[in-house]
Each structure stands twice: as C-alpha cells, then as structure tokens.
Amino acid sequence: MDSQRQAAGHSAGTLWFNPPGGEENRRRALTRDRVVAEALAIISADGAAALSMRALATRLGVVPAALYRHVTSKEQLYDLILDRVLAEVDCQADPALPWTGQVTALARRLRTVLEDHPGIAALLKTRDPVSPASLALAEAFLAPLRAAGLPGRQGALAFRLIYDYTLCFALSDPTSPGEQRVQDTATRAELHAFLRSLPASRFPALAALGAYAWAGDHDQRFTASLDTLIAGLQATLRPRTRDASQPAQTGPARSARPDGRARTSPPLPRSSW
C-alpha cells in the first residue's frame, strides 16, 4: 500500500509540478523567427490571402494573442516576411562586369528568389517595405546605374523600371495554368495551329506572330525583354557621352557644302564705328 501511495505521489508530482520534457519544450517555444517562417510557409502554399493571425496561431499550436508578443500587427508580419525573402538575394556586384552586366545579374537573382517563394511577388507588389534587405537591394541596383552616368531622376526611374519588370515577370508563375499550357508540347501545338487559322483579314499580325508570343520560352522571354530595357538605357547615355567627347568648336562657324567640304561662314563686316 505504501509503495502504491509513493508511486501515485510520484506520478502526481511529475504531472502537476514538473515542466514538460526538454524536447517538447523546445518544440513549443515561440519566437519571432518561427512565426515568420510559418507565415511564409502558409503564403507559399496557399497565397497571401490565406494568411491570417488565427490560421497562423492554429498552425503554431498557440492562441492568436500569443503572436502579438512577437509582431505588433499583420502588416508588420508581412514586412518581416518580405525582408526575410529579399535577404536571400545576393546583392554583391562583380566589379569585373560592366554596369549592364551587374544590373542584369542582380535582376536574374531577384527573379530566382521570388520564383522560389510562390506568393511573395504578389505580396511585394502591394507593399513597398523600407527594410534592411529592401534597402540593400535598392542600393545594389542604383549604384551601377549611377556609376554609368544616368543623372539623378533618370537613374532612379531606370531602377524602378528594371525592378518592376522583374517583379511583374515573377508574378507569371511557371506553374500557373497559362504557363503550363505553353510548356506542354501537344497543347502548345494546338494553340499555335489555332492562332495560324485566324482570319488574316481581321488578325493579320496575330496570325503571323502569335506562335512566337505564346512559346514555351519562359527564361528566354525574361532575358530578351531585360536586354531590351538595358539597351534602351544604354541608348540614352550615348548622345551625352558623344557630346562630352567632342571638343568645343572655335573659330568661324562651318557648314557642309554640296560637295561635302566644310563651308566657312564669311566674316562679319567691320563696324563703321
């Protein structure tokens, strides 16, 4: 009987007065990093619309109020998620590359990270966080554009152009139905046949070029369009560079003669004064 009481007392003491085991305690520990990681997992699986404080709390096995010890609001949680993802972008520039190569490489790395985290590009499009990672990314884009000679506002607009293009391209999820349609060889062939069958009298350009517009070249589309943007920026720099390299004209003004030789303007008449 005494041994049974002792056993019962030992069990009761273990149940009521001893903390949970170390492994269980570690599993239940709630930290900001864990909150952000689980929220990111929800967005990656079901999109940003699926993230709520209640759903996140259920996933973590806590009451919703416990989350507010680590984040002040859902908006702050969004910004923490975006900062975590953008921190994955390698912002180190290769000094051996020209400015065009540095900007192109950074845009490609940004696109890769965004496509690795489904739902983040859509969330980033609705927010513009001023976080450590987003500031580092902006600096990495702006530095080579500034070094190339693009003046203040023009350089800033060039950054937004490339950043917005990359972000919007990442929104075209390669796993979406539209992308899957052009990735499947048989389905793409049917689509191309349909486009070629359109009446040329009404859709002449689409009948001729539609097959190129709906091609299974996701990566090539990104690269070709990015190259076009970069080429446009280079074109804006050429006149300024050429003008700066030409020496200032001195002496009488010259113009071209019909035979191609330079024509010298006649000297001004001497003043009678």
For position 6, what pLDDT does the model report? 56
Give the pLDDT of residue 184. 78
Q: How many CB atoms within 10 Å of residue 85? A: 22
Residue 251, in any domain of the structure:
no
**Structural domain contains residue 249:** no
In the prediction, which pLDDT does 266 show? 47
Q: What is the dihedral of CA 169, 173, 178, 180, to 10 degrees?
A: 130
Task: List, for the chain, all residue ranges whose pLDDT scores fall below the cut of 50.
Answer: 8, 12-16, 23-27, 241-245, 248-260, 262-273
User: Does residue 137 lie within any of the structural domains?
Assistant: yes
Residue 172: the pLDDT is: 78
Dig out the tokens for 88 from the structure. Answer: 């994955």
* Torsion angle defined by CA atoms of residues 36, 39, 44 and 49, in that order, rounded to the nearest 10 degrees: -140
Report pLDDT for 130. 86
Tokens 């969004």 locate to 78
Closest CA to 55 of 39, 71, 40: 39
Instruction: Quote the number of domains for the chain.
Output: 1
Q: 125: domain range?
A: 99-236
Question: Does any domain span residue 190?
Answer: yes
Backbone dihedral angles phi then psi of residue 255, each to the nearest 5 degrees: -140, 160
For the stretch 238-258, pLDDT in tens is 765 444 445 544 444 444 444
- Quickly tell me which residue has 């303007």 as its tokens: 265
229 inside domain? yes
DSSP 254: E
CA distance 44 to 39: 9
Query: At 184, which CATH number?
Result: 1.10.357.10
SS (H, E, C) 26-56: HHHCCCHHHHHHHHHHHHHHHCHHHCCHHHH
Residue 244 lies in a domain: no
The residue ranges of DSSP E strands in the chain, in sequence order, are: 254-256, 262-264
Whole-prediction pTM value? Answer: 0.73
Residue 268, C-beta contacts closer than 8 angstroms, at least 6 positions apart: none
Give CA separation, 74 vs 57, 70, 149, 179, 242, in Å: 12, 11, 41, 32, 52
The Cα diameter of the chain in Å comes to 139
Residue 223 covered by a domain: yes
- pLDDT value of residue 243: 47
Nearest partner of 227 among 136, 173, 165, judged by Cα: 165
Give domain status of residue 125, yes or no: yes
